[in-house]
Amino acid sequence: MSLFSNIQIDIDILPKSEDLDLIPISAKYFKIILINICFIYAIFVGILLALYSFADDSGINEVFWYLIGLICTLCIISIVMYYIGFKKRMYAMREKDMTYSHGYLVNKTVTLPYNRIQHIEIARSFLARKLGLSTLKIYSAGQSGGDIAVKGLPKDVADTQYAFLIKIINERS
């Protein structure tokens, strides 16, 4: 009789990740993304305008407008890409783990078991405070890249989830 057993599992009976009911983050968070994108591209336009004002050569005029057009095009592409990715930012909390899914070109889904949580924090930027949003940051034990930062949660939801997770951590100690 063998002490070791490693029976194969029928993968057709495993639960499907598509069956997980993921909750989208607050739509208000996209405003923060838009403000950040526009701010960054406005800096580039400002630098170009400053350089243009110091240029004496009339040949710079044509290059300047091409660069302004390029920056505006990149800004629009960034907004569209972030909008597509924004729709894929979702999370779910279950009785033993939390799942967070995000990404537009490469969709990444991280499931973090509660027994692997090391540290939890809530962060709120200036814009997030103005919009009533929070970021719930959950740090895992180990270095496998299993940390989760759910940005764009309503403050009351983040506070409730924080309290729930702290309770779980304290009960296991």
* 41-92 pLDDT tens trace: 999 999 988 888 877 666 677 788 889 999 999 999 999 999 999 999 999 9
Tell me the C-alpha distance between 46 and 53, whole Å.
Answer: 11
Nearest to 45, CA basis, from 74, 71, 77, 81: 71
pLDDT (tens digit, 9 = 90+) per residue, 69-83?
999 999 999 999 999
Cβ(148)–Cβ(109) under 8 Å? Answer: no
Cβ(153)–Cβ(26) under 8 Å? Answer: yes
Do 97 and 166 fall within a single domain? Answer: yes
Tell me the C-alpha distance between 85 and 54, whole Å.
Answer: 39
Mean predicted lDDT score pLDDT of the chain: 89
Which of 58, 85, 112 lies at the terminal end of a domain, its last residue? 85
Tell me the C-alpha distance between 28 and 78, whole Å.
Answer: 18
**pLDDT given at position 171:** 86
Which of 85, 103, 132 lies at the terminal end of a domain, its last residue? 85
Q: Which tokens belong to 111?
A: 């499931």
Name residue, tokens 């599992």.
9
Q: Which tokens belong to 139?
A: 């740090």
Nearest to 126, CA basis, from 13, 22, 35, 20: 35
State the CATH number of the domain containing residue 113.
Answer: 2.30.29
Residue 3 lies in a domain: no
Question: For a pLDDT cut of 90, what percent of the chain falls above it?
Answer: 57
The yes-or-no verdict on residue 146 having pLDDT over 90 is no
Do 160 and 101 fall within a single domain? Answer: yes
Residue 53 lies in a domain: yes
Residue 24 lies in a domain: no
Q: How many domains does the chain have?
A: 2
Residue 10 lies in a domain: no
Residue 14 lies in a domain: no
Rg of the chain on CA atoms, in Å: 23
Residue 18 lies in a domain: no
Q: Which residue range is the domain that position 74 belongs to?
A: 29-85
Do 69 and 100 fall within a single domain? Answer: no
pLDDT (tens digit, 9 = 90+) per residue, 11-25?
888 777 667 889 999
Do 98 and 146 fall within a single domain? Answer: yes
